[in-house]
Amino acid sequence: MKIERLAPSPGAIADFYEEALPALGAVCERTWHDRLEVVAEGTAARLWNDSGELHEVELWFPPPDNTEPRNAATRFAGVTKFS
Query: Is the whole-model pTM more than 0.85?
Result: no
How far is it, in rounded angstroms, from Cα 26 to Cα 47?
11
Q: What is the pLDDT of residue 80?
A: 34
Instruction: Summarize pLDDT for 25-80 with one digit per residue, the tens.
Output: 999 999 888 889 999 999 999 988 899 999 998 888 887 777 777 776 666 644 33
Per residue in 26-48, is it b (16+ CB within 10 Å) or e — as a string? Answer: bebeeeeebbbebebeeebbeeb
| pLDDT for 11 beyond 70 | yes
The domain ranges of the chain are: 27-76
Q: What is the pLDDT of residue 23?
A: 94
Contact 36, 56 (CB under 8 A): no
